[in-house]
Amino acid sequence: MTQEELDALMSGGFDDMETLEEEEETPLEEALEEESEVFEEEEEVTKKVPDAPAGYSKETAHHWPMPATDENKMVHQLDDVTRESEEKASEIFDIIDGVSNQLMEGEGSLGSVIEALESNIALFTTLSKKFPDVAAFGVQLEKNSAALDEANQIIEGLQSSGESIMSVMDIMQYQDIHRQKIERVINVMRALSNYMNSLFEGRIEDKKRVSSAQHIVGDTHNELASNEDIEALLAQFSK
């Protein structure tokens, strides 16, 4: 307690003393509070991001590689892309095949209708010539002729749609080429990974290696090796 606080206490100025305590905050206390807030924020971010390294936060995220989770593993993602694209392409081909079959069925049905219309036209043409005074024969001849023209137009539309579907199927073949390219990239990445693992492979297992020194002369930090670390190190050398 400072002399000023003591004088305030003796004079009964408790309110002044409380105000003084509220106003008096040393730079050290402010720094500690700021550091505590930053630590809490980093801890919250670390909880949200699994396998995040110590000190990882939104502000420092650009300094760190992404955590090695299933969502960030490159080969996992590429495998998912090839699998899902192949599944969707198969579904699209099934739909296109169904539409193509429907067009062919419709074209076949219209072929039968056209045959019937042509037969009616031939009949009403003959009747109109033999009985020119009967107007009904002429009317039916005109109706069947108009219906035949519409049926032929529909046939042409169906055939055009069938050709468009074949073009779509040809274009979809590129999806298989893209899948093969991605698979080639995956194979190269896996080959590089295996090569790097083989390049850095050691003859001694990691668990049998001598533990690294925590403090070397010239380090700027004050982290010294503990007695337990020294004893463990000596025990490993004695084996």
Query: What are the tens digits of pLDDT across the range 23-51?
Result: 444 555 555 566 555 545 545 544 455 55
Lowest mean pLDDT among 12-16, 208-212, 215-219: 12-16
The mean pLDDT of the chain is 76
Q: What is the pLDDT of residue 164?
A: 92
pLDDT at 191: 92
Name which of 36, 30, 4 is nearest 17 in CA terms. Answer: 4
- DSSP letters spanning 106-147: HHHHHHHHHHHHHHHHHHHHHHHHH-TT-HHHHHHHHHHHHH
Instruction: State the pLDDT confidence band at 201, using cuts at 50, 70 and 90.
Output: confident
Task: Determine which of 64-73, 148-157, 158-167 has the lowest per-residue pLDDT on average.
Answer: 64-73
Average pLDDT value for residue range 169-198: 89
